[in-house]
A and B are shown apart, each in its own frame.
Chain A
Amino acid sequence: EVQLLESGGGLVQPGGSLRLSCTATGLSFGRYAMSWVRQAPGKGLEWVSAISGAGTTYYADSVKDRFTISRDNSKNTLYLQMNSLRAEDTAVYYCAKISGPYDHYWGQGTLVTVSS
């Protein structure tokens, strides 16, 4: 069974930083592109960033130059370093395999709240 387990969310002040992690089990992690997707309270889904198995990165315009995605295939772990956080970054952040072949998977999410 594939599981994606996020961690690292919490309350942070505007301008602050946070690093999210996502550990995958039951999946040939290094073979697949992985994404971060967020959902603000009461809103729809917004793709944030993705990284290919080889490490090519992609970002939404709303987070470019503030967020950095990375992965450690030896640890089956995906990361999202979030800097210069704003109130509008408040959301549940999901780790997901939502591109490429075969089944797609979502983690359970981790809440990031940006507030003073």
Chain B
Amino acid sequence: DIQMTQSPSSLSASVGDRVTITCRASQGTNNYLAWFQQKPGKAPKSLIYAASSLQSGVPSKFSGSGSGTDFTLTISSLQPEDFATYYCQQYNSYPLTFGGGTKVEIK
């Protein structure tokens, strides 16, 4: 199984900050790496697929990068609606696996 490790597990940031979340896979994922956002009591919302492709309708302040085993989600200018938990997920092989999540909180 491919293990996904996210860091940090939580962070505090201010509106307007640039935020970066990292995700490391225990083995290569062929860039089959997705990021999504989840707010309390809500379903996950997809942001990025194939490591760097922006999901339709997702604002361009979200971007993904990386390759091989190391990936990054960046939010260029944090807005109030962006405070949420973010997860990475690999879909290179079954079982599909998720990172533990990064909770982005207001400073």
Interface 9-residue window, one of B14-22, B59-67, B92-100: B92-100
B interface bracket (residues with beta carbon within 8 Å of A): 20 to 34
A interface bracket (residues with beta carbon within 8 Å of B): 20 to 34
Contacts of B46 in A (CB 8 A): 98, 103-106
On B, residues with C-beta under 8 Å from A are 32, 34, 36, 43-46, 49-50, 55-56, 87, 89, 91, 94-98, 100-101
Give the dominant DSSP class at B's interface.
loop
Give the dominant DSSP class at A's interface.
loop
On A, residues with C-beta under 8 Å from B are 35, 37, 44-47, 50, 58, 60-61, 94, 96, 98-109
Given known pairs A98-B89, A103-B55, A104-B49, the reply for A46 and B43 (CB within 8 Å) is no
Interface centre among B43, B55, B95, B98 (most CB of A within 10 A): B43
